[in-house]
């Protein structure tokens, strides 16, 4: 199997879907002639041209609403937010028009859009550029949300998201774009990963570390330390998909290990981990040997200082410390 970067895995996904379906259009700021602010769409404008890869002005509400309207006529826009943090200037389009038009029409309309971009902290870009709104959007019925942690997951989920006939919001990560991983060769066939399916990234028996996105890598780092230095066998469950959610995988893991520590880059209040906590206590209450613990981003706007931000985010050290409180 070949190893490619997360950004190149996404690039392959776009290229394959642009070839497969003439209705697919990439849209966003700098996606075309600039080759993408983070080079995720590199080379695609050159190959596919102005019609299929579209540079938009800095008008998130405008071009996102445009994409939603176009999707009602059968266009399938794959729209980029240069940072998911910019969701706030297009919030009405994202949670009213995308999420509710189907419902308010009694099912006459569907909105097959993909909204994608990096949702992460850890790059010292300050509070307004470091939001992780997956929990926020998963709270709106009508939307789907996923958060791939590896190149293969990124490619597989992106292709599925593009083919899905509902709005799918894909949370990428600038700190993951450069990470390499095994991705199946296109020559071996069409590779997709369904929404709603988690992945056990590391098997274990003593505690379930449940995470998504970059937090999966932090959890894996913590699992290594827990094994080597504390003899604790941690299972790492990568959610991959937030909504729909693979509840079965979560419950199966917790029933096996009897302990859970959730790792979530959101701030503590109402992040994805808060929702999972309530599901675990509801469906695996009698299997728990300890309270469910969480490691989230420390509860303040994202700090700039490079000396401190790595500590504000979930990291292996904080995960290990939290696990030891219930081990």
Partner 1 sequence: MSLPELKPAMETSASPLDFASSPINKSLSSEEKVEHYRQMERIRRFEQAALKNYQKDGTMGGFLHLYIGQESLAVGAASLMGEHDHMITAYRCHAHALAVGMDMNECMAELYGKATGCSKGKGGSMHFFAPDKNFWGGHGIVAGQTPLGLGLGYGLKYKGLEGSSLCFLGDGAVNQGAFHESLNIAALFGIPVVYIIENNGYSMGTSQKRSSAFKDCLAQRADGYDMDWDVVNGEDFYEVRAKVNIAMERARKESKPTILEINTYRYYGHSVADANHKVYRSPEEINKYKKDHDPINLWRQRLIQEGILTDEQANEIGKAAKQEAAEATKFAEESPAPTIESITDDVYWEVDNDTEASKIGRHFFND
Scanning the structure block, which residue is given the tokens 């299929």?
Answer: 52
Q: Which is nearer to partner 1, 41 or 160 (CB)?
A: 160
Q: Which two tokens stand for residue 198?
A: 């988690």
Residue in 60, 235, 265, 309 annotated catalytic: 60
Q: Are 2 and 184 in contact (CB under 8 A)?
A: no
Whole-number minimum distance, CB 97 to partner 1, in Å? Answer: 6
Residues near 142 by beta carbon (within 8 Å), at least 6 away in sequence: 98, 99, 100, 102, 103, 166, 167
**129 classed as catalytic:** yes
183 sits in which H/E element = strand 180-183
- Rounding to the nearest 10 degrees, give the CA dihedral for residues 192, 133, 42, 190: 0
117 bridge partner residues: 171
Q: Which is nearer to partner 1, 110 or 124 (CB)?
A: 110
Q: Which two tokens stand for residue 149?
A: 């942690």
Long-range contacts of 190-193 (CB under 8 A, 24+ apart): 190/16, 190/159, 191/152, 191/155, 191/156, 191/159, 192/156, 192/159, 192/160, 192/163, 193/152, 193/153, 193/156, 193/157, 193/159, 193/160, 193/240
Whole-number minimum distance, CB 240 to partner 1, in Å? Answer: 10
Residue in 16, 80, 129, 131 annotated catalytic: 129
Q: Which is nearer to partner 1, 90 or 320 (CB)?
A: 90
Whole-number minimum distance, CB 19 to partner 1, in Å? Answer: 17
Whole-number minimum distance, CB 162 to partner 1, in Å? Answer: 12
**Contacts with partner 1, residue ranges (CB under 8 A):** 25, 51, 56-57, 59, 61-75, 92-93, 96-97, 101-110, 112, 141-142, 144, 160, 164-166, 194-197, 241, 243-247, 275
Whole-number minimum distance, CB 168 to partner 1, in Å? Answer: 10
Q: Which is nearer to partner 1, 4 or 250 (CB)?
A: 250
Q: Which is nearer to partner 1, 14 or 63 (CB)?
A: 63
The catalytic residue positions are 60, 129
């Amino acid at each position: 199997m070949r190893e490619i970067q997360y950004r190149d895995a996404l690039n392959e996904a776009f290229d394959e879907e642009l070839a497969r379906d003439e209705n697919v259009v990439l849209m966003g700021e700098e996606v075309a002639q600039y080759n993408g602010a983070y080079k995720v769409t590199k080379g695609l404008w050159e190959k596919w041209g102005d019609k299929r890869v579209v540079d938009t002005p800095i008008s998130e509400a405008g071009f996102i609403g445009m994409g939603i309207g176009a999707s009602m006529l059968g266009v399938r826009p794959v729209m980029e937010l240069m940072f998911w943090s910019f969701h706030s200037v297009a919030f009405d389009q994202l949670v009213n028009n995308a999420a509710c038009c189907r419902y308010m029409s009694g099912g006459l309309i569907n909105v097959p859009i993909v909204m994608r971009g990096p949702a992460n902290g850890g790059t010292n870009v300050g509070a307004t550029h470091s939001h992780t709104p997956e929990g926020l959007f998963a709270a709106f019925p009508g939307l789907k949300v996923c958060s791939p942690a590896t190149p293969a997951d990124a490619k597989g989920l992106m292709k599925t998201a593009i083919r899905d006939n509902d709005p799918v919001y894909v949370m990428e990560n600038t700190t993951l774009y450069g990470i390499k991983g095994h991705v199946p060769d296109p020559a071996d066939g069409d590779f997709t990963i369904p929404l709603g399916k988690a992945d056990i990234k590391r098997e274990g028996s003593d505690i379930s570390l449940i995470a998504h996105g970059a937090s999966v890598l932090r959890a894996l780092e913590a699992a290594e330390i827990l094994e080597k230095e504390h003899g604790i066998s941690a299972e790492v469950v990568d959610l991959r998909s937030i909504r729909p959610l693979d509840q079965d995988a979560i419950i199966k893991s917790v029933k096996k290990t009897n302990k859970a520590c959730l790792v979530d880059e959101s701030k503590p209040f109402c992040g994805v981990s808060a929702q999972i906590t309530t599901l675990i206590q509801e469906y695996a209450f009698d299997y728990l040997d300890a309270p469910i613990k969480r490691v989230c981003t420390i509860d303040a706007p994202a700090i700039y200082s490079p000396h401190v931000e790595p500590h504000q985010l979930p990291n292996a050290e904080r995960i290990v410390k939290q696990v030891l409180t219930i081990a």
